[in-house]
Amino acid sequence: MRIVFICGSWVASFIVGAQDFNRTLHVCVDHTQENLFTNNIEGPAFDKKGNLYVVNFQKDGTIGLVKPSGEVKLFLTLPEGSTANSIKFDRKGDMYLADFTGHNVLKVDMKTKQVSVYVHSNEFNQPNDLCINRKDQLFASDPNWKEGTGKIWRIDAGGKATLLTDKMGTTNGIELSPDEKILYVNESVQRKIWAFDVDESGDISNKRLFVEFPDFGFDGMKCDNKGNLYVTRYGKGTVAVISSAGKKLFEVALKGKNCSNLVFGGKDGKTVFVTLQDRKGMEKFRNDIPGKK
């Protein structure tokens, strides 16, 4: 298998076998087969037991459970009219889903698989991505793709939604820094990533441009435990790694182009799993730094 790695202005191409995966950094291999999911594959997330869940397995409106081997089975089917785009787990182990077609955030009892509406608002555009802090407060991006605008919401424990700002472009990826004092939100169409200060109540302030790119879109984002930000560059097929100071460090090349989201996992937290909408499956690569706790 020929792999391309992009770093700054240079490109290296070399051969790697599956057996070398754990010893080779930033080199993508397949995690699942192609065409197991729909072209809305998104939202990879691990529960406390290390189980990996991904949305839209075989058809929209489902959640798939991905085994360490890459095999996938159906975990649950959502109520009619709901399609998940992002998955997050709280401290108790309950699952939360950004339901972009139902204009909800859904909650799943993992013991009974019962799905309920955690919060619904007629002011939601299409809840897209979620992140969660140690207080179980959710932060949700909420783009209006047609108008090129977006909102950011905070959803407190119990399901109360608070609009944090509606002065955004097409909000998509959203992530908290490891110390939870900075909220990063990207705008897919405008190709900008913004940083906000987060106070003890979960309110945001001091909006500032963190980094921007001249081409291709953005989708999901995750931080490692040193505060570097990993951003999927939709259409380019790379994961860009950006320091906490906003410096572009390098990019990891994927096999597919339409990378939608990513998550850190594996026994040491140093494997990055990426969802690809054009391939309708997942890839993975090894990293030198684990994901944030």
In this predicted structure, the answer to whether residue 2 has a pLDDT above a threshold of 80 is no
In this predicted structure, the answer to whether residue 19 has a pLDDT above a threshold of 90 is no
pTM over 0.85: yes
Q: Residue 10's pLDDT is what?
A: 32
Distance CA 63, CA 47 (A): 13
Q: Where are the domains of the chain?
A: 1-30+230-293
Classify 11 as helix, strand or coil.
strand
Residue 88, strand partner residues: 96
Summarize pLDDT for 256-292 with one digit per residue, the tens.
Answer: 999 999 999 999 999 999 999 999 999 999 999 999 9
Torsion of CA 31, 34, 35, 37, to 10 degrees: 20
Count CA atoms within 13 Å of residue 8 on its CB side: 1
- At residue 276, what are phi and psi to the nearest 5 degrees? -120, 120
Q: Residue 125's pLDDT is what?
A: 96
- Provide the 10 A C-beta neighbour count for residue 280: 22
Q: Residue 14's pLDDT is what?
A: 38
Average pLDDT, the chain: 93
Give the least confident one: 11-15, 24-28, 127-131, 260-264: 11-15
Beta strand ranges found along 20-148 (DSSP E): 29-30, 37-46, 52-57, 62-66, 72-77, 84-89, 95-99, 104-108, 115-120, 130-132, 138-144
Residues 105-112: what's their mean pLDDT? 97
Residues 1-27: what's their mean pLDDT? 56
Structure tokens at 216: 């291709």
* Residue 164 CA: distances (Å) to CA of 73, 99, 142, 174: 37, 19, 11, 13
Summarize pLDDT for 140-196 with one digit per residue, the tens.
Answer: 999 999 999 999 999 998 999 999 999 999 999 999 999 999 999 999 999 999 999
End-to-end CA distance of the chain: 33
